[in-house]
Structure 1
């Protein structure tokens, strides 16, 4: 993928994630689909792992199996943030809304 296309996809991913409402989650795959590249869920994870902009709520993106997935501030912090938004978390499983 060339750098221009990669940059465009990154912008789309960050915009999709920015629009996830408080109290809701999307999977990495759902974000990839909404950004126009359904098979690029790993790329979504890579993009979000390098996001340090607190205006982009990347803690609202989870794995398809309900597990929280990575978070640059730690998985425990991710689960804590989700719970503070009313997301049901039982152990390390997130209820996908």
Structure 2
């Protein structure tokens, strides 16, 4: 893929992620489907979000991560999935868990979204 195609794809993924409202989560698969109707792009979505550059300004309103809500994306099996703030130097999953808990989205000890929340908090109403 050319750099131009990758940049355009990244912009589209960031746009879709920015639509996930507070107190809701979506999955890499649902974002891939919204992106181009193809669930097999879920890994591509994950790779794009892993390069999100959340940096140390994670709690800052001007952080890219705060604007696109990459921490609100989980795996389609309802597990937390990855999160790499600070270039992977800290416990990203724990940071992700805490940020989502602050939005009343809770996970069990194994890192799976609580069953009673699954239908309530999954967001899939994306638009271009």
> Given the two structures, how large is their TM-score scaled by the length of structure 2?
0.70
Give the alignment's Cα RMSD to 1 decimal. Answer: 1.4
For structure 2, the residue ranges without an aligned partner over 5 or more in a row are 54-63, 86-91, 122-128
Structure number with greater Rg is 2
Shift of 1:3: 2.7
Q: 1:58 aligns with which of 60, 67, 70?
A: 70
> Given the two structures, how large is their TM-score scaled by the length of structure 1?
0.90
Question: Which one has the bigger helix percentage?
Answer: 2
Question: Which one has the bigger strand percentage?
Answer: 1
Moved over 6 A (4+): none
Aligned length: 97
For structure 1, the residue ranges without an aligned partner over 5 or more in a row are none
Shift of 1:37: 5.0
